[in-house]
Amino acid sequence: MSPHISVLPNEVVESFNTPLVHQGGVLLDCTLGFGGHTSRLLEAYPKLKVIGIDKDKEALSFSKEFLAKFEERFTLLYGDFSVRALEVLKQERLVGILADIGVSSLQFDKEERGFSFKSSELDMRMDTGKPLSAKEVVNSYSLLELERIFRDYGEIREYKKMARLVVEWRKEGKITNAQELSSKIAMHFKASKIHPATLAFQALRIEVNDELGELERLLRGIFENPLEEGARVSIISFHSLEDRIIKQHFKKWEKSCICPMEVMRCECGNNHALGKNLYKKPIIATDEENRKNPRARSAKLRTFEFGK
């Protein structure tokens, strides 16, 4: 059984229901994870091939077996999607790109991966081959660096207090487990609807995995290597920081006039739009899906279609 339930499964399949995908071609799944979306796409579109990227080797080895029945219709790539996707974009004429960014349930649930409050580790690396872990961030970042991540990646109102306390706590000895960190935070910050450590953990995770940088670079790479007419890009995000980045990029891709602001009359030809944002509002999960899979509650799907 898969350790991860895919969010918005039907909506993702539907977002690629295009003539190009029915005809065949290659779709790039930037966040293969446990192959849930990819297997649904391969089932729904029998002529389609998928290239799947992940930087988590545990996810890749699960997917390799899980997708084996599709034989030569899928290829696995290990690494950061910002790098690997660019290589693929330069080599293949893709009919679609999917990214379901964020953490998998296995990463959250497996104690030793150190993502959850209860973990005895403080790790949070999606790619365990990379050097930077949450332990490094918490114990070696300067006060200013900690303030930056708590402010920018956690949007924590009391980010200065949070950073100052972390610096104080680590003077008493290295902070090495997530449980210790989350209970210390809970003692000093009021609980709201969410656990007081939720945003601090979000900030650490984003920093450790360079999540926003990865997303930015992926979207820039697509802009610089646009897909063919009728191809689509579908991206699922899980918090407002990511959704904002996706919205901004799609808006830029839709822009027909690229004249500088100060120009009074258009001189660029007004024909630079790469395509259109398909849904003005993001697609969200139904109540039924949210009941079955609480992770789906914060998921937002946006889709862009290339073509004049």
DSSP 118: T
Q: How far is the CB of 50 from ligand SAM (least distance, A)?
A: 11
Enumerate residues 6+ apart whose C-beta is below 8 A from 76.
32, 51, 52, 53, 54, 60, 63, 64
Does 300 participate in binding ligand SAM (rule CB under 6 A)? no
Instruction: Find the residue with minimal CB distance to ligand SAM.
Output: 33
Q: How far is the CB of 108 from ligand SAM (least distance, A)?
A: 10
Residue from the set 15, 31, 234, 237 that interacts with ligand SAM by CB under 6 A? 31
Does 303 participate in binding ligand SAM (rule CB under 6 A)? no
Q: Which residues of 2-23 are buried (b: 16+ CB within 10 A; e: fewer)?
A: bbbbbbbbebbbebbebebbee
Burial tier of 264 (Cβ tally within 10 Å: 0-12, 13-18, 19+) = exposed
Q: How far is the CB of 182 from ligand SAM (least distance, A)?
A: 22
- Best CA proximity match to 41, nearest among 87, 84, 85, 96: 96
The residues in 116-135 that bind ligand SAM, with binding defined as CB under 6 A, are 126
Residues binding ligand SAM: what is the number (CB under 6 A)?
21
- Best CA proximity match to 127, nearest among 21, 215, 31, 198: 31
Three-state secondary structure call for residue 211: helix
Residue from the set 100, 121, 243, 289 that interacts with ligand SAM by CB under 6 A? 100
What is the chain's length? 308
Residue from the set 20, 25, 26, 36 that interacts with ligand SAM by CB under 6 A? 36
Does 102 participate in binding ligand SAM (rule CB under 6 A)? yes
Contact of 56 with 35, CB cutoff 8 Å: no
Enumerate residues 6+ apart whose C-beta is below 8 A from 247.
302
Residue from the set 20, 21, 26, 53 that interacts with ligand SAM by CB under 6 A? 53
Residue whose CB is less far from ligand SAM, 83 or 167: 83
Does 214 participate in binding ligand SAM (rule CB under 6 A)? yes
**Ligand-binding site membership of 173 (annotated):** no
- Best CA proximity match to 300, nearest among 287, 288, 282: 282
Q: How far is the CB of 296 from ligand SAM (least distance, A)?
A: 11
Residue whose CB is less far from ligand SAM, 53 or 156: 53
Residues contributing to the site for ligand SAM (CB under 6 A): 4, 6, 31, 33-37, 53-56, 59, 80-81, 100-102, 104, 126, 214
